[in-house]
């Protein structure tokens, strides 16, 4: 039986997020405008530095076999919904704006997502360790490690079934 991932989680650490963003090739509309003005290529270092400092919040919910993970910040929000074990089309709107074929499965006590698209070896894994939510985001050889602390424990929180 897997530990409950459901609930609201506040970020406590974020390691190598910039490396992960570079691997994704993230470009916002503002970055693209800045790059066209300055004729530089790549991701604006200023915007990457801003993103690194964001304190993210995760909200993980499950209802009727459908799981939803919300990633919230003052900068932008992202929500993905899925059924474990079923491939789905994921559009990373607001992130790197890619259309991916994603599949989320359980690997032991880890909820793992394989994302097939333009970038190689892309995905993520969530798991509980020492009462904290751990998330590894990986893409093209870069790994970002994030840790979250649960906000307010409730007896009636949902559980993702393995």
The CATH superfamily label for domain 7-150 reads Calycin beta-barrel core domain (2.40.128.20)
**pLDDT of amino acid 48:** 66
**pLDDT of amino acid 98:** 87
Greater pLDDT, 156 or 95: 95
**pLDDT of amino acid 114:** 98
Domain regions of the chain by residue span:
7-150
pTM of this prediction? 0.80
**pLDDT of amino acid 40:** 47
**pLDDT of amino acid 42:** 47
**pLDDT of amino acid 76:** 84
The predicted model gives 130-135 an average pLDDT of 97
Q: What is the pLDDT of residues 83-118, one digit of tens each?
A: 999 999 999 887 788 899 999 999 999 999 999 999
Query: What is the spatial order of strands in the sheet that 122-129 belongs to?
Result: 78-82, 66-72, 57-63, 7-15, 142-150, 132-139, 122-129, 110-116, 99-107, 88-91
Greater pLDDT, 136 or 65: 136
Coil/strand/helix, residue 69: strand
**pLDDT of amino acid 34:** 52
Q: What is the pLDDT of residues 4-56, one digit of tens each?
A: 899 999 999 999 998 898 888 865 445 555 555 544 444 556 666 777 778 89
What is the C-alpha separation between 25 and 35, in angstroms, rounded?
A: 13
Residues in the chain: 162
pLDDT of 60 higher than 70? yes
């Amino acid at each position: 039986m897997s530990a409950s991932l459901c609930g609201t989680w506040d970020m406590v650490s974020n390691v190598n997020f910039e490396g992960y963003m570079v691997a994704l090739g993230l470009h916002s509309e503002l970055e693209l405008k800045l790059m066209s003005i300055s004729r530089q290529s790549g991701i604006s270092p200023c915007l990457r530095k801003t993103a690194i400092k964001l304190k993210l919040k995760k909200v993980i919910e499950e209802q009727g076999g459908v799981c939803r993970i919300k990633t919230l910040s003052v900068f932008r929000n992202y929500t993905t919904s899925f059924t474990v074990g079923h491939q789905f089309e994921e559009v990373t709107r607001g992130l790197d704006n890619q259309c991916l074929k994603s599949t989320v499965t359980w690997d032991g006590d880890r909820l793992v997502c394989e994302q097939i698209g333009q970038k190689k070896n892309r995905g993520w894994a969530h798991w509980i360790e020492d009462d904290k939510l751990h998330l590894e985001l990986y893409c093209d050889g870069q790994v970002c490690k994030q840790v979250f602390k649960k906000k307010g424990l409730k007896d009636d929180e949902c559980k993702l079934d393995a």
